[in-house]
Structure 1
C-alpha cells in the first residue's frame, strides 16, 4: 500500500499548525499565539483508516443539532458508515448542511473526549473529490479528525455531535485536546 495518504495527512497537519500560529484569522486567541508551538495529534495509524460504502438514506431527514453556545443548526442525516474498531462494529452517521453540497460531515464523540481529546467532540469532513475511491466507496480516516474552532476560543459557535454519534470506543487518532487549558467547560 502506498504511503501517500500518510504524507498528505502529515503535510495537512503541518500547514494547519503554521496557520494557527501565524495567521491573523487563526482561532487561537492572539495572546496565546506567541507561545503556540503547534497542535497535538495521535500518531497516524492505518487501523483507523477505512474504505467503506455509505449506506445512504433514501429520504434524508433534517436533524436539529445543538451548538456550543446553546443555539441550534439544521443538518440532514445523509447516511451511515459501519466500521470495525478494536473488534467492535461501530455505526456512525454522516450529515450534510445542504442537500446539494458534495461534502459529508461526520461529527463524533468517543471514549477519549474530555481526557485526551476535546470534550465536546471532533469532526471529519469528507469531500467527494478527495475521499471517494474509484469503486465508489468513501475513505473514512479518523486520522483526519479535528477539533472544532470552539476548542480554541469561546468566541466561536460550533455544532455538537448528535448523541447517535457518541461512540462507545476510544478513537486514538486525529487531533488531541488543545493546550493550554483555558478553563472552557468542554
Structure 2
C-alpha cells in the first residue's frame, strides 16, 4: 500500500512540474509576441521609420492586433526546393517583383493539412537568412486587411522544422499609405481557413 501511495505521489508531483513548465513556456511565448507588437508600434510612431503620412502619425495611438492565441503558433516542416523556382509577383500598384521559391511549409491547422510557399529575392545579393511568406486567409477584407498579410521567418540552422507563428503576421505598408508598392500574395498562398491572429485590419479599412 505504501509503495502504491509513493508511486501516486510521485506521479502527481511530476505532473505538477510538467504543468508548471508548460505554463512558464506559454508565458514566455506570450511575452515574446507582446514585445514584437510593441516593436511595431514604436516603428509606426517613429518619424524616421513610420510608413504613415504625417497627419496619420500625429494621431497614431497604436496598431490593431487580434488577441494573442497560441493555437496559431504552429510547428511547420520546411521542405527546400531542389532548384529555386523563379516567379514574378504582382504588387499593389500594378508592378512586378521577382522572387525565387525557397521551399514549402507544411503544417496542420483546425485539422486541415495546409501549405505555404516561402520566398527570397531573385537577386541573390539581396538574400539573407530570412524567408518572406505573403498569405491571405478567410479574414481578409473583414477583420484583417483585404490585401493579405506577411510573415518573416528565419531559415532553421538544423533540420527542416520551424515555428510558424501567425501572431506575428503583419500588414504591408500599403495598408496604411498607398504610396507604397507591396507584393500581393500569390494564389499558392491563399489559405482556405481563417487566421484571427497577428495584425488586424487598420481602423479605416
TM-score, normalised by the number of residues in structure 1? 0.89
Would the aligned equivalents of 2:74 and 2:163 in 1 still touch at CA under 8 Å?
yes
Among 119, 124, 128, the alignment partner of 2:146 is 119
Match of 1:104 in 2: 131
2:193 matches 1:169: yes
Mapping of residues 4-23 of structure 1, within 5 Å:
4-23=28-47
Mapping of residues 28-177 of structure 1, within 5 Å:
28-98=52-122, 99=124, 100-128=127-155, 132=156, 136-177=160-201
- Select the structure of larger CA radius of gyration: 2
Q: Which runs of 5+ in 1 are unaligned?
A: 182-186
Query: In structure 1, what is the Cα distance between the partners aligned to 2:83 and 2:159?
Result: 23
Query: In structure 2, what is the Cα distance between the partners aligned to 1:170 and 1:55?
Result: 24
Would the aligned equivalents of 1:133 and 1:139 in 2 still touch at CA under 8 Å?
no
Q: How many residues align?
A: 178
Moved more, 57-66 or 3-12: 3-12
Moved more, 147-156 or 20-29: 20-29
Give the drift of 1:127: 2.0
Give the drift of 1:5: 2.5
Match of 1:184 in 2: none
Moved more, 65-74 or 48-57: 48-57
Give the drift of 1:29: 1.1
Would the aligned equivalents of 1:77 and 1:94 in 2 still touch at CA under 8 Å?
yes
Moved more, 133-142 or 29-38: 133-142
Would you tell me which structure has more helix in proportion to its own residues?
2
Query: In structure 2, what is the Cα distance between the partners aligned to 1:48 and 1:94?
Result: 18
Instruction: Calculate the aligned-residue CA RMSD, in Å.
Output: 1.7
